Structure 1
């Protein structure tokens, strides 16, 4: 019992004695009660002192083997690893693992050789992590990181049976260069997929037009009527164009029964002249202006006859009229010449027409009218105008 305990016991005894004295005088205890109260006070004091006495160690320090040795320090069985490369689903693209490895040793038979427990623990953790990352794409490093945190969170025994190991605070990253390369490859794959879809879409449209719509003229007309149900008259007028389009799409000639609906193509010499732009103020050939009534009337006449201004027959007729109008009105012949070009070189002022028109080349020459010259530019078989209109 220390001195402090003794002082406390004395003070408690005095205080309890004073309390009992005050209570006894105020309540007027009988005489026999005072000795009883004093006895209770003494017994309580003795019990309090006995309870506060420190119990002695049953074994003396001399009986202990090492009585003064301190407790051994706690061994921390963990190791931090950083930047360890782990395989991924793609060759040459590795994950970089950083983690804290913890382990605890296992009981081994007597005589077992000593081992590096930290090495065994790290090897076991890396083997478990490699089995997870080996089948994961390197672009999913953040997802695989959370997966590893769950897969390595349990203590498991290593292959040698010497330690149990786990990992915590796992960080899984990818090299910056590999991340850039994967981003570029992903962008290329996306663009290639878009291009492939566009190519297939274009092939589908071409197959639809070539194998269905333009398979023949009939299918083209049905398709056109479906798209323009209220333009039947337009479809009838464009039968020739549809026949040409169908034949071009199938690389065949226009059907014989539809060939009369196809406009005649321009001869090469007339096409070149049209591109050169014969006509006043750059107007195209065969399209006279309002200031050329004679040429305009001639063009309309040829169109009514079923001939275009660029047709060879139209050129032949224009040459004849140009020669004829030179003796009547030079301005009228000039109008025709500006629209249809210069007269053919096969005409001569004193000779017959020698075959500019293909149908007149083999025709027999008729008898010339007597008593006068022939009209300039008149071909074989042409009847000259009356004398009252053409001076000779």
Structure 2
């Protein structure tokens, strides 16, 4: 009885423990698998050729070309065959416009690399119907625009260089005018600083530098430096005081003009002034006459005529009468001190007392002198 009782208890316990398990029947269906995702359609191809995209400069457009790859999205199903390529091209061109519209036209090559990176990612268009990307991107300017940009760039560089040169010249003028040529002393110091070992030449340059300084400041040469000028100030005016070349009363009103080329008469005047001969001296008249005759004998008639016309002393009011009211000389005509060169005679103007012996000697000088 005990054995039967224990066996029954164990059986009861096993029945209770196994009662919570749900036994699967032989015909109970198994759990279903998730549905398979439908495959995406393949990419299709279309082209964009020379689409004009505005740049940052007005009137200069980029020409954009690319190969557009697109496919419809799953949410909208298969779009119509004509609308899908247009939507893909519109999406790619819009994305390209956002990249290049703030780029300068001269940076077309740089902007092309930006476009290649931006358009290589497939993105849906605004309507979400297609996804599109671009490859083989080209971005160029029209040939005429490229030539204009090249010319403008060259002109801009030339103008920049010219402006720098102008500024350099202004700085140099300001330096010379306000510093170097401010006074004769500053000019001499500037010259000596550039030629440290030429002290003696610096002394010779004082006169010319003083003259340049006076001209730069629109002033007269200071009295302190006038004796250093070459020729000295006053040498020409003293040597020709009363002469027709300097007072404007010569034949034909031939006044000396410093702007004109220095002629034979001017150089002869410098020589006369250097030796101390003045128009009111008999030696002056004789010397000029002999130079004229020598030039005529050498066949230099033009130079002789110039000296005769410009350096002939002004006629004296009393030149036509001697001490007794008669003619001063037998060969003189019209009060002119020059006679015909062929005649070989010369009568100077009335000489002051004490000079008759000298005049007599000059009149008897042979023609070969």
TM-score if structure 2 supplies the norm length? 0.60
Q: What is the total number of aligned residue pairs between the two structures?
A: 269
Structure 2 residue runs without a partner (length 5+): 1-38, 238-243, 247-255, 297-303, 324-346, 365-369
* Residue pairs, 1:354-369, within 5 angstroms: none
Pair 1:242–1:336, CA change in 2 (3 A): farther
Runs of 4+ in 1 over 6 A off after TM superposition: 112-115, 335-340, 387-392
* Residue pairs, 1:1-392, within 5 angstroms: 76-108=43-75, 116-262=83-229, 263-264=232-233, 266=236, 269=245, 271=256, 275-278=262-265, 284-286=267-269, 307-308=273-274, 314-316=277-279, 319-322=281-284, 341-346=311-316, 348=319, 350=321, 377=349, 382-384=353-355
Distance 1:179 1:314 in 2: 76
Structure 1 residue runs without a partner (length 5+): 1-71, 288-298, 353-374
- Partner SS state of residue 165, structure 1: strand
Q: In the alignment, is the contact (CA less than 8 A) between 1:141 and 1:174 conserved in 2?
A: yes
- Structure 1 residue 333: Cα displacement: 9.8
Q: In the alignment, is the contact (CA less than 8 A) between 2:277 and 2:284 conserved in 1?
A: no
Q: Deviations over 1:56-94 (max 9, x none)?
A: xxxxxxxxxxxxxxxx9x665332111111111211111
Pair 1:388–1:98, CA change in 2 (3 A): closer
Distance 1:152 1:269 in 2: 90
Distance 1:123 1:325 in 2: 104
Structure 1 stretch 172-181 or stretch 196-205: which is displaced more? 196-205
TM-score if structure 1 supplies the norm length? 0.56
- Structure 1 residue 116: Cα displacement: 3.0
- Structure 1 residue 223: Cα displacement: 0.9
- Structure 1 residue 127: Cα displacement: 1.6
Distance 1:238 1:106 in 2: 93
- Structure 1 residue 95: Cα displacement: 0.8
Q: Deviations over 1:172-209 (max 9, x none)?
A: 22212111211221222222222222222222222222
Match of 2:250?
none
Q: Deviations over 1:344-379 (max 9, x none)?
A: 323726469xxxxxxxxxxxxxxxxxxxxxx96456
Distance 2:71 2:144 in 1: 38
Q: In the alignment, is the contact (CA less than 8 A) between 1:322 and 1:343 conserved in 2?
A: no
Pair 1:250–1:278, CA change in 2 (3 A): closer
Q: In the alignment, is the contact (CA less than 8 A) between 1:78 and 1:102 conserved in 2?
A: yes
Distance 1:257 1:129 in 2: 80
Match of 2:326?
none
- Partner SS state of residue 127, structure 2: coil
Q: In the alignment, is the contact (CA less than 8 A) between 1:349 and 1:376 conserved in 2?
A: no
Q: CA RMSD in A?
A: 4.3
Distance 2:107 2:57 in 1: 12
Distance 1:387 1:219 in 2: 52
Q: In the alignment, is the contact (CA less than 8 A) between 2:278 and 2:284 conserved in 1?
A: no
